[in-house]
Structure 1
Amino acid sequence: MTKIVPEDKARQGHWGWHALRILVVGLLLAFIAWGAVEIYGEMIRSPTSDQSVPGAPAAGQKPPQGG
């Protein structure tokens, strides 16, 4: 004879506060890691403002006079 189990008793588990806390903490840790990588990426980026434009005179030099 087969045993009949009510639907609310047959479930494996239920979503509770413990599972929600684990998911939220995991999401926060992912954001912290993402932020750390962004900061590190900005620190190792080569500066683009120090590069001079080709053909432009360097600072302190006068452009050639032509007529």
Structure 2
Amino acid sequence: MTKTVPENKARQAHWGWHALRILIAGLLLVFIAWGVADIYGVMIKQPATEQQHVPQPPGTEQAPAPSGQSQ
């Protein structure tokens, strides 16, 4: 004989602590992966952006030529 179950009580499981823990663990793993990718992106970008700047002593700077005059 088949048992009749009302529609509002026909669920397989409850959304309880177990599902909440799984969702939080997944979110933490996403943040960890995001952090690792960010750190890796900064590490591979640094050598290309590092430029050695040699400061010139004061007074050795060249002034631009005035416009309209040829040299």
Which structure has more RCO (C-alpha within 8 Å, separation ≥ 6)?
1
Gaps of 5+ in 2: 66-71
Residue identity over aligned pairs, in percent, reads: 56
> C-alpha deviations, 1:24-47, integer Å up to 9, x for none?
010001000000000000000021
Gaps of 5+ in 1: 53-57
TM-score (norm 2): 0.61
TM-score (norm 1): 0.64
More helix by share: 2
Count residues with an aligned counterpart.
60
Aligned-partner Cα distance in 1 for 2:2–2:26 = 42
Structure 1 segments (4+ residues) deviating >6 Å: none
> C-alpha deviations, 1:11-61, integer Å up to 9, x for none?
11110100000000100010000000000000000215x177xxxxx6558
